[in-house]
Amino acid sequence: MKWTTAFTFLLLLCFACQKETDADWTHYLGDPATTHYSKLDRINVENISQLQVAWTYSSGDADTSNRSQIQCNPLVIDGILYGTSPQLKCFALNAATGEELWSFDPFEGNFEMFGMGVNRGLAFWKNGQEQRILYCAGSFLYALDAKTGQLFKAFGNEGKVDLHDGLGRDVSDFFVVANAPGVVYKDLLILGTRVSEATGAAPGHIRAYDVLTGEQRWIFHTIPQPGEFGYETWPSDAWQRIGGANAWAGMSLDEKRGMVFVPTGSASYDFYGGDREGDNLFANCILALDANTGKRIWHYQTVHHDIWDRDLPCPPTLVTVEHDGKPIDAVAQATKSGYIFLLNRETGESLFPVKEQPVRTSDLKGEKAAVTQPIPTKPLPFARNRIDSADLTDLTPEEHAYALDIWRKSKKGEPFIPPTLEGTLLFPGFDGGAEWGGAAFDPESKLLYVNANEMPWILQMLPYQAEAGDSPIAKGKNIYQTQCMNCHGKDLKGASIFKVPNLEGVKDRYPKEEIVKLVKNGKGVMPSFTFLSDEEIESVVAFIQEGKGISESTTDNGKDQDNDLWTYPYVMAGYKRFKTPEGYPAIKPPWGTLTAINLNNGEFAWQIPFGEHLELVAKGLPPTGCENYGGAVVTAGGVLIIAATLDEKIRAFDKTNGKLLWEAKLPAAGYATPATYSVNGKQYVVIACGGGKLNTKSGDTWVAFALPD
């Protein structure tokens, strides 16, 4: 009897110890500080090579044309995983088996009609037995019962809040969505938005909603109104007509201090600021706000008067570092330009010197570019930021000659060269440097891990050439230049930035009625154009069907404009990577990197090429690195786990030195940040495999890995 009692006690003790090692993934990117860190160590440097697939889950709603994505970093709470699908359905799974518990479709089967944008994560709120999932799909914020997936009908309007409402002016026909989840503080959900980057842009104000009722509790004006701090950094009427300065990338939270840290993007129009003279606070800022009230505590602007689309691309990472012999709570913000701004969390002061570097003035009429830009002296840039002739590709003589010709014709040199008619080499490009995957932080070593793109882009402006006449094609050309050309290009050939489709010959592939529906309602990452009249939509469709595109002119002829939708003298020629005809970056590798930065001293601990072009490896070339989207997870087990690359792999590295420890092929590229958690003492790593970017196939599968039993 005594032996049985002792054995039972030992079993209970072992079970209790095992349960103590369980850990959830309760917030977007791991915790309110968005550190991407897990205390779990069951999977570690010694055994991670044994990882194998534990379960998979497929939603069945990937786009067969390979333009859908999953960018979601899930939540895992009390053994339940919450995530989203390519069609923005929210679901709950048994986190140990992948079995579906419930699924919620916000569009009720009409994704083709109403679905747009992507979802990068969800927020969770709990009070006693009541648990809510708060997430955005399209232009709405939804509140779901975490146990059943049912809408809370008392929240907003029958369970949802329209993000168009409460911005201070009528934006009902404008593009307003939210890709990133908000943060929950007490009974508030604090949320940013994604808005248009051209005309017809809503302001990007930050708002807090009551998690029980959906009522808007406070608002912070990112484009200040009369009497508010920063108002003088804009034209006096900017708050009534300018849009953008929005927080599309998410935010981080210091619960103890009651502070929320918000990264903002550029003002609209992204590439020309002749109508918004000044530094334009609070665009391109790290904002520290009182989470209770929305009041500004401090701000730090990382780009003055942005005309390069240098949005802050990811939430700030809240860290504690050793500086001048003492611990300091700080904010680490990674940028598209390849800089890390490391700021005192309470005051916003930089821990390392930041130089206001004089930069070039603009050649474009009406544009008054900022005369200086802030450049951190430490850490050094984690991505290259200029291209010399010696940096051009030498994979083949033909590719080198092609790159050299474009390089000679373009404006290039130091960072922050204003947009030009000739074309400016933007390096890093529109997608960084850092992008929305963000940075991971190890509190043990004080290392910050950031993956980066090293892809140059060509930023070229064209004079806006208004077409005279009242014909549908003439009107459609004017609308296309201002609303469509950024993405689809002047030649209609599309762009890989969002996997934008080629419109050449579109009239032979789709009936006119279907094209009209797509323009009006939007689809996927393409916004709706409901602010256009039916006649205007018919006109732009007629121009697209004609198939001639926009003839290029770099003559700044100052021609009078007759398009009420466009008030600028210039348009951007389209998102164009600086690539060779063979499809590779027109510079020498690495084309993607993974860097560990010691935040105590600002020095690199290590940097490696990240990702492969498998066909080049097959030819005997060393790994070149490649473009990548999605962040890393770092653990107490000594590993750094990340997917993100176009080669459709997930990898694990030794966090101390960057040594590759394990890799596995995924069913589609994992352009998302993984999560790690444990259930009943078993640790899992899960990644959303949505693909769809960089000309890779789309997928609808979530894959979880674990050690063998």
pLDDT recorded at residue 67? 86
* pLDDT band at residue 490 using 50, 70 and 90 as cut-offs: confident
pLDDT recorded at residue 479? 76
Are the CB atoms for 63 and 51 separated by under 8 Å? Answer: no
The fraction of the chain above a pLDDT of 90, given in percent, is 79
Residues composing the chain: 709
pLDDT recorded at residue 8? 39
Average pLDDT over residues 297-301: 99
Residues 6+ apart with CB under 8 A from 358: 371, 372
- Residue-wise DSSP of 582-639: TSSBSBPSPSEEEEEEETTTTEEEEEEE----HHHHHTTPPP----B-S-EEEETTSE
Average pLDDT over residues 610-630: 97
The more confidently predicted of residues 236 and 12 is 236
* pLDDT band at residue 174 using 50, 70 and 90 as cut-offs: very high
The more confidently predicted of residues 509 and 345 is 345
pLDDT recorded at residue 36? 98
* pLDDT band at residue 566 using 50, 70 and 90 as cut-offs: confident
The more confidently predicted of residues 604 and 534 is 604
Are the CB atoms for 643 and 666 separated by under 8 Å? Answer: yes
Average pLDDT over residues 599-624: 97
pLDDT recorded at residue 14? 43
**2 pLDDT exceeds 50?**
no
Average pLDDT over residues 97-122: 91
**420 pLDDT exceeds 90?**
yes
Identify the CATH number of the domain defined by range 461-573: 1.10.760.10
Average pLDDT over residues 334-341: 98
Q: In CATH, what class is 79-119+121-162?
A: mainly beta
124-132 LR contacts (CB < 8 Å, sep 24+): 124/26, 124/27, 124/75, 124/77, 124/82, 124/184, 125/184, 125/187, 125/189, 125/211, 127/187, 131/77, 132/211
**167 pLDDT exceeds 90?**
yes
Are the CB atoms for 695 and 647 separated by under 8 Å? Answer: no
Are the CB atoms for 647 and 667 separated by under 8 Å? Answer: no
The more confidently predicted of residues 38 and 524 is 38
The more confidently predicted of residues 516 and 59 is 59
The fraction of the chain above a pLDDT of 70, given in percent, is 92
DSSP 432: B
pLDDT recorded at residue 497? 53
The more confidently predicted of residues 45 and 503 is 45
**Residue 472: how many other CB atoms lie within 10 Å:** 17
* pLDDT band at residue 473 using 50, 70 and 90 as cut-offs: confident
Exposure class string for 37-66: b at 16+ Cβ within 10 A, else e: bbebebbbbeebeebeebbebbbeebbeeb
**498 pLDDT exceeds 60?**
no
pLDDT recorded at residue 493? 74
Least confident of 115-119, 334-338, 567-571: 115-119
Least confident of 213-227, 520-534, 537-551: 520-534
Location of each CATH 2.40.10.480 domain in the chain? 79-119+121-162, 171-315
Are the CB atoms for 700 and 60 separated by under 8 Å? Answer: yes
**4 pLDDT exceeds 50?**
no
Average pLDDT over residues 445-468: 93
Least confident of 9-23, 52-66, 124-138: 9-23
Q: Where are the beta strands (DSSP E) in 239-295?
A: 252-254, 259-263, 285-290
**550 pLDDT exceeds 90?**
no
* pLDDT band at residue 523 using 50, 70 and 90 as cut-offs: low
Pick the closest to residue 229 from 291, 174, 301 (CA basis): 301
Pick the closest to residue 577 from 500, 690, 673, 672 (CA basis): 500
pLDDT recorded at residue 511? 79
Q: How far is CA 436 from the centre of its chain?
A: 3
Q: Would you tell me the crossing angle of helices 472-483 and 534-546 to the nearest 10 degrees?
A: 90
**pLDDT by residue (tens digit) across 391-401?**
999 999 999 99
Rounded distance between C-alpha atoms, residue 482 and residue 201, angstroms? 13
Rounded distance between C-alpha atoms, residue 229 and residue 237, angstroms? 15
Least confident of 4-8, 559-563, 612-616: 4-8
Q: Where are the beta strands (DSSP E) in 237-396?
A: 252-254, 259-263, 285-290, 296-301, 317-323, 326-334, 340-344, 354-358, 372-376
Rounded distance between C-alpha atoms, residue 626 and residue 616, angstroms? 11
**336 pLDDT exceeds 80?**
yes
CA dihedral 100, 101, 104, 105 (to 10 degrees): 30
* pLDDT band at residue 21 using 50, 70 and 90 as cut-offs: low
Are the CB atoms for 248 and 194 separated by under 8 Å? Answer: yes
Containing 405, the helix (H) or strand (E) segment is helix 397-409
pLDDT recorded at residue 530? 66
* pLDDT band at residue 17 using 50, 70 and 90 as cut-offs: very low
* pLDDT band at residue 266 using 50, 70 and 90 as cut-offs: very high
Please report where in the chains the tokens 């940040």 appear, as a residue: 673
What's the whole-number average pLDDT of the chain?
91
pLDDT recorded at residue 580? 96
The more confidently predicted of residues 193 and 497 is 193
Average pLDDT over residues 476-498: 72
pLDDT recorded at residue 66? 87
Identify the CATH number of the domain defined by range 171-315: 2.40.10.480
Say which amino acid occupies 58.
Answer: S
Average pLDDT over residues 177-188: 97
Rounded to a whole number of angstroms, the distance between the first and last alpha carbons of the chain is: 31
pLDDT recorded at residue 6? 45
Are the CB atoms for 195 and 176 separated by under 8 Å? Answer: yes
DSSP 224: P
**508 pLDDT exceeds 90?**
no
